[in-house]
Chains A and B, each alone.
Chain A
Amino acid sequence: AQKITQTQPGMFVQEKEAVTLDCTYDTSDPSYGLFWYKQPSSGEMIFLIYQGSYDQQNATEGRYSLNFQKARKSANLVISASQLGDSAMYFCAMRERQGAQKLVFGQGTRLTINP
């Protein structure tokens, strides 16, 4: 069964610093997608970035990049030059090609950016 693990319940970072949010996963499906979502205090779920299991390069979207290490089954989110508006919950999620097709989420990491 697919599983997502986020081991950092909370992270505190100074503004303008880079931050890495950890995510490990487990699946037996060779084809899968990995996603990161941001959930600010308003509650909306905002899609940030996607990485496919067969992608050769790490995904990047503006200040967001995904450090994908397939052999280690990790998909860490890197936020460069953090801003106060980055304070939010961040969820890692995975969707397999086979099986249930549902998106399975980790427990999330609460990121706080300090001025």
Chain B
Amino acid sequence: GAGVSQSPSNKVTEKGKDVELRCDPISGHTALYWYRQSLGQGLEFLIYFQGNSAPDKSGLPSDRFSAERTGGSVSTLTIQRTQQEDSAVYLCASSFGRGENSPLHFGNGTRLTVT
């Protein structure tokens, strides 16, 4: 079946511009996550959506970052007024449930470069 789909795969933008990153999770998965991975680093949690519950935004690094999930499916991560330190790979993941035994399935990521 189809996995987690992210678009675009690469995005180059100028400092100060806004960007939108899209994630289409696996059908039927109720949980959706966004992570950020800087070069050679681990994964930094950004935000988590579970069903109709309020999202966990505790990992968003600043108010320039926001995300929404429409209809419990597709999610968009928006970064306003991009800065060079925002350059990273943004990974989306989904899982079937919220239990501690549910593995996350990741997309291939969006590589964001801010010039």
Query: Do these two chains interact?
Result: yes
A residues neighboring B (CB under 8 Å): 31-33, 35, 37, 42-45, 47, 50, 52-53, 91, 95-97, 100-108
Q: How far is the CB of A102 from chain B (nearest CB, A)?
A: 5
Q: Are B42 and A91 in contact (CB under 8 A)?
A: yes
Closest 4 A/B residue pairs (Cβ)? A45-B106, A33-B100, A105-B43, A97-B100
Q: How far is the CA of A105 from the CA of B38 in the complex (A)?
A: 13
Q: How far is the CB of B75 from chain A (nearest CB, A)?
A: 15
- Knowing A43-B89, A100-B58, A102-B48 are in contact, say whether A31-B100 is a contact too (CB < 8 A): yes
C-beta contact mask, B25-41 vs A, less than 8 Å → 1, else 0? 00000010101000001
With an 8 A cutoff between CB atoms, is B62 at the interface?
Answer: no
Q: How far is the CA of A108 from the CA of B38 in the complex (A)?
A: 13
With an 8 A cutoff between CB atoms, is B96 at the interface?
Answer: no
B residues neighboring A (CB under 8 Å): 31, 33, 35, 41-43, 45, 48, 50, 56, 58-59, 89, 91, 93, 98-106, 108-109
Among B41, B58, B100, find the residue whose CB has the most chain A CB atoms closer than 10 A.
B100
Q: Are A102 and B100 in contact (CB under 8 A)?
A: no
- Residues in B with CB closer than 8 Å to A106 are 42
- Residues in B with CB closer than 8 Å to A103 are 33, 45, 93, 104
- What is the chain A residue whose CB lies nearest that of B98? A101
Kindly count the residue-residue contacts between A and B in the assembled complex, taking CB atoms under 8 Å apart: 61
Contact among B56, B59, B91, B103 with A47 in the assembled complex (CB-CB below 8 Å): B103
Known pairs A96-B100, A105-B43; list 4 more (Cβ under 8 Å). Answer: A43-B89, A47-B105, A53-B100, A102-B33
- Residues in B with CB closer than 8 Å to A101 are 31, 48, 50, 56, 98
Q: Are B109 and A43 in contact (CB under 8 A)?
A: yes
Q: How far is the CB of B55 from chain A (nearest CB, A)?
A: 11
- Residues in A with CB closer than 8 Å to B101 are 33, 50, 52
- Residues in B with CB closer than 8 Å to A52 are 100-101
